[in-house]
Each structure stands twice: as structure tokens, then as C-alpha cells.
Chains A and B, each alone.
Chain A
Amino acid sequence: MNRVATLLLALGLPLGAQQAHYDGFKVYPVDASLPPDPGVEKILAPYRAQLDAKYGRVLCQAPKGLFRGRRGEPNDLGDWMADLMRDAAAKATGQKVDAALTNSGGLRANLRRGPVTVGDVYEVMPFENALVVVEMSGADLIRAVKQGIERRSGEPVSNLKAVLSGTPEAPVCTVTFADGSPILPTTLYRVATSDYLAKSGDTMRALAGRQPQDTGLKLRDTVLQACEALGKAGKPLLPPKDTPYTIPDAFLDALEQRTVKLP
């Protein structure tokens, strides 16, 4: 009698019951060799036509595309978004906005190379999130950036810079404004983010539970407007030149495993 049978007897499970035996697996690509099911296609076609009419409009060109990158790689799309959020929040509230924090998990697709349509922007930003401004102490702002590094190898930010040094076991992390000027722990800063992050914190819990100042703008609308403005000006949508994070390669595995704890 094998080990499992002994165990089943010990547990009082009946011998003689049907036992499952794993025989194997397969993965089928859903590709063009499969003709569309006529019933599904009949239902879907009129909806698709409506979408094409509404979402097919080209806003601007992105000759290099705008990509989120894998963990540890620059998140060009996220950082571009964060810059946009900071600018839009400053314009909407008429007050200076010191920084922006957003979450890479909120960006659901890359912007492919070539024309950017309304539908492409919806795929990047499908959520109905609002652009808001929260007040945070410098200490909380630094903590939020560090939490983003611990949880996601760095979340998209605007006007901030983080440099990691030391070892994964004994890390040193310096967070400053993008120009290198210090973030003062007790000073209150105005930070652009999404209403989702202001409430939940997601990967940056130091952000959570804040009373946000509403800008009246949907996050996605700011992106649509920015792309449209670029298109009208005949300018391409290009990735940002700088990345906010300096992370030595020695940290990448530990960050992937989420074992780095920043002091």
C-alpha cells in the first residue's frame, strides 16, 4: 500500500472512492486559426462598431511609444503621467503642487508606438479616478516613496528623486525633490494623486486615509487633453528624459522578492 493510501486510511477516508489522477496539460493560443463563433460575433459586432466610432479618433503620435517597463526598469508612462498630474492639479487649483505620486497598478496598458487614439488612453487608464491634491508632511511623503520602492521597486512620481545605495540587507535610501533640494520632515507639502490612492494608499500606505482636495478633473481626461494638445501643436508624445530612481543592480532580485526594508 502506498503512502497516500496509508494516510487516507489514517484519516478515515474510504479506500475504493474515486481518485483523481493528473494526466497532463495543454495551453491553446487563441489565435487567427480559430474562426470567430458566429453567435458571439453577431452580438459583438454592433457594439464594436459603436466603439470604433467613439474611440477610434487619433489624438497624437507617439513615435517611440510610452512603456511602463518591468519592475526595476524606468516607468516612462507612469512618470509622464505623474508630471501631467502635477501640472494639471496646479492649474486646476491655482496653487503650487510640490510633487505627484501615482501607482503603476493603475496603468493598465502601454501606449503602443504610432498613433494614440481615444481608445488607447482608455486602455491605459480605464478607471473613473479623480485627480486630487492631498497635504502630506515631508516625513510621510518620504515614507510613501520608500513604500513604493519596497512594494513595487518604485512607483511613478513627479518632481521627486530617490537614490538607493548600500546593500539589500543594509540599504540607504535618500529621497529629495528632483533638483536635489531636501524634503523637510515637518513641512506640509501639496501632492497630486488619485482619489483611489488618497483613500486606499495601495502600495504607498503613508498616503492612505487623507481628505483630498478635488480638482474637478478625471485622471483620464487630463491624459486625453494632454494628448490632444500635443496633436494640435503637431508635437510628438515622447518619454520623459530622466527617471526618478537610481537603483543599483544588486537590489533588483531583493526588490522583486520584496525583502528590502528601507529605514
Chain B
Amino acid sequence: MKRRDFLASLTAGAAVAASPLSLEARGSATSKRLTLLFTTDTHDHLDPFPAGSGRLSGLGGIARRATLVKRLRKELGNVLVLDAGDAFQGTPYFNEWKGKLDYELMSQVGYDAVTLGNHDFDNGVTGLLDAMKEATFPFVCSNLDFKGAPDLGKRVAPYLIREVGGIKVGLLGATYKFDGMVLPENHQGVAWLDPVEALTPLVKRLRDEDKCAFLVLISHLGMKGTPYRPGNLEIASLVPGLDAIISGHTHLFMEEPTVVKNALGETVVFEAGFGGTELGRLDFSFKDGRIAAWSRSAVPNA
């Protein structure tokens, strides 16, 4: 992506985001809105799946995804576009261009934050860093320790704070345990941290100190855990305070989100399949001055 285009898109986004804020400032009854748009485990499926791919035949393609995302961003304004990892590995595009093409095109789509999946380490830390040169979006992952890989540490934030349409949003990330998944030479200098231990203090900090009104975890931990490691459904209970978890790793096509009740209310957990064949959307609204009912409203657009 050309630098000029990137800056132009930033400016356009800011202009759209400004209008609902000013409505609020005038004391309008209109509540603030935020939409999350997301993908996961796109695995180098830059082109639509060919015929003969079962229910995925003819679906997907990053050029179509870009059209859809840009259309929705224009229509809705207050949008965050997220990906839960494993952009890498799956078609010859990766064997030839090592993820650089993925990140270049994901920059064109306009992702706001992306976390890392286990396969994003398939060409090691240097391979990942090389591909990241093509990314104009930030990476977020809260449960990795980059002490031994400072260059990668500079590219991956433990959390991000974004102001979207007057809402202060905290973005966190989580990735799957390396052990038995990513070969030691491919994550040299990067240590995996227990996600509950890593996320708990960050959630508290983002809520209490940074005064975020909304917290999203972009997580490659998979939907359902085992007795030995938590998945995203377990994280929703064990780390209260998250409003949404954008799930990845399990290649799960879901009929509807799972809403997990926890000590601080509820967390909406959703995973958008695999291969870029679908784009997930979650909508939230915010009200000032009083606590909105936490009950789940009717789903307007399923």
C-alpha cells in the first residue's frame, strides 16, 4: 500500500468517526455505537475456494473481502476490523511469498488490529518480521514475552487503545500455547505466557487506569479448551471484564455467538470460520450517565 493512500484512509475514518461524537456532545438521546468486523484463520486463501471445495466452493477471496469491509466501514462509521491470526500457511501464495503478500493485502483491506496465530511463526521470528514490513496495521498479543526477540517485541503491542466514535476501546490479544505447536527454533526468544495470568492485570489496567469503556480480546486460543488449557469460552469466565472475544484457531463456523455470563456481566464470543469465506459482525451500543441493561436484546439482523 502506498503511504499516501494509507494516510488518506486514516483521515477519512476520522471524519466519519467525528459526527456521532458531536451528536453526543450536544446531549442527543442517540446512543453511541460500535461495530466489530472480523475474520480469522484466513490461511493464505487470497483467492475464492475452487469448485469441489464442498460448502466453501466459490466463497472467499481477499479482493471481495476488501469490498465488503470498505462498504461497511463507509456505511457504519464506527468500525474496528480485526483478525484473530493464522493469516499464514495454506496455499502456494505462502510458499512463494512467505506471508508478505498477505500482510500487504490485509493492509489494503484496512485491518485495525491483528493477533498472531501459531502458523504465523512457520517461517520463524525473522520470517514473521520480514512479512510485517508489508503491514500498515498494528499487531496485538498480550501473552507473549519478547525479551529475547526485541525486534518482534517492537512490532507486537501487549494491548492497544483506540478511540472510535467517542468510545475508548482497549484491544488485547492472545495466542495458542507454543509447546507441541510451534517448533522451538521458530519462536526463538519469544516465550508463551499463561493467558489468564497475562490478561487479568491488563484488563484491570485498561478498565481502571485507562478508563476504556469497551474491551475486546482477539484470541487465537481456540473456542473450547481442555482441562489443561483454557479456550476462549473458559477465558470469558476466568477473565471477567471483556466485552467481546474474537476467536480463532478452531476454524469454527458458528450459527450465532455464545454469550458467557461472568462476574462482571457477560462476554460475547464469536469465531468467523476459516479461509476468509465469511466476515463476522458484532454490534454494541453505549449509553452515558447510567448503566444500560445487561440483558441481551433481540438480534436484529441474524
Contact = CB atoms under 8 A, between A and B. Distances in A.
A122 B92 CA distance: 6
Contacts of A37: 63-64, 66-67, 70, 108-109
29 contacts: A4-B294, A8-B264, A11-B264, A18-B286, A18-B287, A20-B214, A20-B292, A21-B31, A22-B296, A22-B297, A25-B257, A25-B301, A26-B281, A27-B279, A29-B59, A30-B276, A34-B67, A40-B63, A44-B62, A44-B101, A48-B47, A51-B92, A54-B92, A108-B90, A109-B90, A112-B53, A123-B92, A200-B181, A202-B181
Contacts of B254: 27
A58 to B, nearest CB: 13
Nearest to A36: B63
A22 B284 contact: yes
Contacts of B104: 43
Contact of B293 (A21, A44, A51, A119): A21
Interface in B192-215: 207-208, 211, 213-214
Contacts of A41: 63
Contact of A108 (B64, B89, B263): B89
Given A17-B213, A30-B68, A30-B278, 8 more contacts: A20-B284, A21-B297, A22-B284, A25-B301, A28-B280, A32-B64, A110-B54, A122-B95
Contacts of B54: 110
B268 interface: yes
A172 interface: no
B91 A36 contact: no
A108 B213 CA distance: 40
A21 B32 CA distance: 10
Interface in A198-213: 199-202, 205, 208
A25 B281 contact: yes
Contact of B286 (A11, A19, A48): A19
A4 to B, nearest CB: 5
A40 to B, nearest CB: 4
Given A2-B294, A30-B68, A48-B47, A23 B300 contact: yes
B17 interface: no
Interface residues of B, number: 90
A50 interface: yes
Interface in B44-97: 44, 46-48, 50, 52-54, 58-68, 70, 89-97
Contacts of B43: 108
A16 B93 contact: no
A119 B47 CA distance: 13
A94 interface: no
A19 B62 contact: no
Contact of B301 (A24, A48, A122, A126): A24
Contact of B65 (A7, A24, A30, A113): A30
B291 A34 contact: no
B53 to A, nearest CB: 7
Instruction: Report which residue of A21, A34, A112 has the largest number of chain B beta carbons within 10 angstroms of its beta carbon.
Output: A21
Given A22-B284, A47-B97, A126 B90 contact: yes
A25 B92 contact: no
The 4 nearest A-B residue pairs measured at CB: A36-B63, A37-B66, A112-B52, A18-B213
Given A47-B101, A51-B96, A34 B68 contact: yes
A35 B302 contact: no
B27 interface: no
Nearest to A105: B181
Nearest to A118: B92
Contacts of A34: 64-65, 67-68
Interface in B87-130: 89-97, 101, 104-105, 108-109, 122
A216 interface: no
Contacts of B181: 200, 202
A38 to B, nearest CB: 8
Interface in A164-208: 196, 199-202, 205, 208
A110 B49 CA distance: 12
Given A7-B263, A30-B279, A25 B270 contact: yes
Interface string A226-263: 00000000000000000000000000000000100000
Contacts of B244: 22
